[in-house]
Structure 1
């Protein structure tokens, strides 16, 4: 039997609702006004309608013209360069055929950009990665602005794509929205071997040919990368927030079951429109309880720190205000129940085989650590998400009771025997500002690092210093002017191998930055998202080489030990070279208007 909702979750939920009272009321009023207008096709002029389905198959035109049946809008992030989104190439045809079989129609409403941080990691293109989230939201707005849809399905997986699509979906809160995952690629080279080759390359022990062969063996087919980074954290989040069909996040592409659950999701999207008797606008799903459940899921699974930024922005689009304090409070009471690389050796396929999200959700529900009574795309309870899909005799998806308990306690643990008693995220506060650290993969003896700082303005300079053998003692590497206003807040994940090598040499090292780390952040202590950022004159801009800083995840502190440092003038930086090339000049207005990282680093 499940326990009552944990007091901390209730308190955090009430706090979010209280501070969001005015903004949420304004949002719901906007949604209600759109609902009252009714289906858009009923109000369009004949010329408008004719343009909307001029190219549609003749069999669909009578239904589109009469608005007798629901019309499903598809928003897709398909491209065939990126493995996670390549499977979506054939989804529109499958969705259209499925919609017809259930008495509906479907059209691709529009496409959104999808860039890969794996491709741009350490490259100039990374400087527009975070901004692409808001651009995706805008593109979703353009796609749905034609106002001819009764329901929507969203095709997207990776780092900025899902948050951008959620922001767009929330903006059209009167429409139902179902998110369709594509699934992870099958398991390739093991993560332990991949990490070893990367470090050997950084040490100069193997050449580029060996490194490329290793990377190609790891990233080898269609689907998401199999580590638990931001992309797969997004998929977890969509289940915890009730926007996926249950248990569908980690089914591999190109399988019968993947097609079957996609068909089932299309059927569901058509059945929850305003014209039916089970209307589920996405505004009803995206409430404070859903976001609290998402924060719990992030902590319980050791998910990506990028979601700390994205969840704030996503909530804002639904009229809700969440803060780092909310994440911290939830982290304090949420046990870590999963170990998936980089927090362990298992990949997401192994995690799914061990019971996956259904087991984690069931364990959390049993201890009162999730809101159970919530609106989702399938029902009114998170218990639905403890079930898992199977193929029936006709090759269609049916949902049965899940495993209930972990099938491998090296990957998933019971709530009574967690990997850690607290979640994997820590808020750090002190004279250097506020920051966050992902500690789920960091050894406890490295949770506190006190050392002199070495200052850098870009990660290339850090790599050069490493190659020159300049790190010979305990060091806190500070990479500043990496915030959203400075250069778009790129990830600094390419520093992970060399910092890991320094750790292996017995040095105490940490990273402090106003930039981001990858969702695959691992064993090196990293105080990231430092706010205020250097460009805003934050204390990080007052540091000089040799100043001593204390990064203390145990006590939640980020301190400059010499208080006189704060009396200095903040340094400035010439960032002009980082504002041109690779499309960065097109995002000048984004850099000028972006909000702080604490408020979602958003344009909205």
Structure 2
């Protein structure tokens, strides 16, 4: 099958746009490989410090006779997704020794959970934890002790942050090593219903807590298709996992076998061998386009509209939301996973999962099949299904039929012909609308604005009955510069209640809504943000706003003379606390959401220019 014309056109557009920055990046990596810090160049004192506690592996590391793998881990035992990583380093050391290699924990990165901080002050650290993770990854790998790296991370900012930092060491081969999702608990639809009842005061805190605990109940990632699981999908279509590793449950023999294979592949991909696969070559323009296609084909998290540009920039590649919009017109929606359906990721995996998705997209020319993957068989290897036969890891024949067409369909008979992520633009700026999560009859809304500067004020207005009408709720000063761009998912139950009461409701914000956003129309990530004087800062209560995902427009319907005479609103004073003040330099330095909302990348590029 020849490559889809839209896919080819977008890829060419990205390559052309990125030529100077990609060249600068690859030149940097070439210099790092030739003259950078590495084990042979370390002084004796440097080297002795690094193997002093290596125990059994001390002599091998000292002699430099095999690859030394740096493990960068997001382990902590508070978060279910990362708790399984506690035993990985010991296992990986054993797997490395099987091939005469060694492994050391190079460093750990923070792993905060938006589920824990949702609606709390700590959420204002969330997006910038990604830059912190990137910096921590760079610190871990800066010792020059490693010929390859295993990146252990899963959730929202962790995978993007790991890649952003690791790409500074792109001459090394690297593999992302996942841990898998928890078992299915309380169905997501039932959890959503309890949340809405709680927001109406019809059930109490104990009933809500019981429902949440029945949903989030054991080690592994959350089972809805939010940012964490979208990250895992993305690693598969970019070829950065061992094939089929994304959604295998933790603490199983198959999961351990996949981790063993990751270590063995790292050893095989080393610069001293004949199958050198450095990260800088694995993540190229085509791999980034594949990630975007996977995002659209599976109805993934809107957070990746921020994270993917940031990952790409770290590799010298420039993409924008118009690229996503163009791809969305050609990429069909193949899945219905909550919040875009009722099934969870375990149901998706059982129906055929990532192997089926990659296989059917390849069949229709909707993925680049010539990217450099960590698997020796290229991207086609990712269409197979991993399994154990007599305790030996193998990959079975690809599944050509979905196991459940209410969850997963082929590209020739999709749920929708487009990928369901729309660029919205007009006199309020540019934003994202996730149409795949919203019924088409709700794509166009024209209503009076109710303007808020804080999500708690929205909830107070809801409880007071002030939003019982057709309304477009505007929540501003939620962008990167204002307060770190928190997710506003806490608003979803209340806005859903209004919609269920028969009102036409939408959310417009310069903040985020996450992969857990659901059925309420939302134009999010609006840029320029309200601070200091973006268009949202001029909107007033009662202004008529019209948004239409059909034509990708969002406009405030105010006479131009009146609009020009207005004085922009100012952000309410921000209180210190919960460490938010420590991140003030990141808020000051961050660029816009469409560029990836990164202070680190903005500073790096300013220095380069």
User: What TM-score results when the alignment is normalised by the length of structure 2?
Assistant: 0.97
Q: CA deviation at 1:418?
A: 0.7
1:316 aligns with one of 309, 313, 336: 313
Q: Which residue of 2 aligns with 1:456?
A: 452
Q: Which residue of 2 aligns with 1:161?
A: 158
Query: Would you say 1:440 and 2:467 are equivalent positions?
Result: no
Q: Indicate if the aligned counterparts of 1:486 and 1:575 stay in contact, CA closer than 8 A.
A: no
Aligned runs of 1:394-413 on 2, under 5 Å? Answer: 395-413=391-409
SS at match of 1:18: helix
Q: Which residue of 1 aligns with 2:466?
A: 470
Q: Which residue of 2 aligns with 1:179?
A: 176
Query: Would you say 1:275 and 2:278 are equivalent positions?
Result: no
Q: CA deviation at 1:439?
A: 1.1
Bigger mean CA deviation after superposition, 227-236 or 396-405 = 396-405
2:21 aligns with one of 4, 20, 23: 23
1:483 aligns with one of 455, 473, 479: 479
Q: Which runs of 5+ in 1 are unaligned?
A: none
Q: Which runs of 5+ in 2 are unaligned?
A: 602-609
Query: Would you say 1:354 and 2:343 are equivalent positions?
Result: no
Query: Would you say 1:589 and 2:580 are equivalent positions?
Result: no
Q: Indicate if the aligned counterparts of 2:155 and 2:229 stay in contact, CA closer than 8 A.
A: yes
Q: Indicate if the aligned counterparts of 2:482 and 2:571 stay in contact, CA closer than 8 A.
A: no
Q: Indicate if the aligned counterparts of 1:386 and 1:404 stay in contact, CA closer than 8 A.
A: no
User: What TM-score results when the alignment is normalised by the length of structure 1?
Assistant: 0.98
Query: Would you say 1:374 and 2:371 are equivalent positions?
Result: yes
Q: Which residue of 2 aligns with 1:47?
A: 45
SS at match of 2:517: coil
Alpha-carbon distance between aligned partners in 2 of 1:38 and 1:409, rounded to the nearest angstrom: 51
Alpha-carbon distance between aligned partners in 2 of 1:228 and 1:248, rounded to the nearest angstrom: 16
Q: Which residue of 1 aligns with 2:416?
A: 420
Alpha-carbon distance between aligned partners in 2 of 1:240 and 1:6, rounded to the nearest angstrom: 16
Aligned runs of 1:118-197 on 2, under 5 Å? Answer: 118-197=115-194
Q: Indicate if the aligned counterparts of 1:27 and 1:318 stay in contact, CA closer than 8 A.
A: yes
Alpha-carbon distance between aligned partners in 2 of 1:136 and 1:38, rounded to the nearest angstrom: 22
Q: Which residue of 2 aligns with 1:549?
A: 545
Flag the 1:570–1:534 CA change in 2: closer, same or farther, 3 A: farther
Alpha-carbon distance between aligned partners in 2 of 1:568 and 1:401, rounded to the nearest angstrom: 66
SS at match of 1:12: helix
Alpha-carbon distance between aligned partners in 1 of 2:559 and 2:97, rounded to the nearest angstrom: 69
Flag the 1:126–1:38 CA change in 2: closer, same or farther, 3 A: closer
Query: Would you say 1:199 and 2:193 are equivalent positions?
Result: no
Q: Which residue of 2 aligns with 1:512?
A: 508
Q: Which residue of 2 aligns with 1:56?
A: 54
1:218 aligns with one of 207, 215, 220: 215
Q: Indicate if the aligned counterparts of 1:487 and 1:575 stay in contact, CA closer than 8 A.
A: no
Aligned runs of 1:300-315 on 2, under 5 Å? Answer: 300-315=297-312
Point out 4+ residue stretches in structure 1 off by more than 4 angstroms.
Answer: none
Q: Which residue of 1 aligns with 2:327?
A: 330
Q: Indicate if the aligned counterparts of 2:195 and 2:208 stay in contact, CA closer than 8 A.
A: yes
Query: Would you say 1:76 and 2:82 are equivalent positions?
Result: no
Q: CA deviation at 1:380?
A: 5.8
SS at match of 1:60: helix
Number of paired residues?
599
Query: Would you say 1:253 and 2:265 are equivalent positions?
Result: no
SS at match of 2:437: coil
* Residues 360-406 of structure 1: per-residue CA shift (max 9 Å, x gap): 1111111111101110001363211101111121x232222222221
Alpha-carbon distance between aligned partners in 2 of 1:563 and 1:415, rounded to the nearest angstrom: 46
Root-mean-square deviation (CA, aligned residues, Å) is 1.1
Q: Which residue of 1 aligns with 2:606?
A: none
Q: CA deviation at 1:563?
A: 3.4
Alpha-carbon distance between aligned partners in 1 of 2:254 and 2:205, rounded to the nearest angstrom: 38
Q: Indicate if the aligned counterparts of 1:40 and 1:147 stay in contact, CA closer than 8 A.
A: yes
Query: Would you say 1:571 and 2:538 are equivalent positions?
Result: no
SS at match of 2:436: coil
SS at match of 1:536: coil
Q: Indicate if the aligned counterparts of 2:375 and 2:381 stay in contact, CA closer than 8 A.
A: yes
Alpha-carbon distance between aligned partners in 1 of 2:147 and 2:597, rounded to the nearest angstrom: 31
Alpha-carbon distance between aligned partners in 1 of 2:567 and 2:39, rounded to the nearest angstrom: 57
SS at match of 1:429: strand
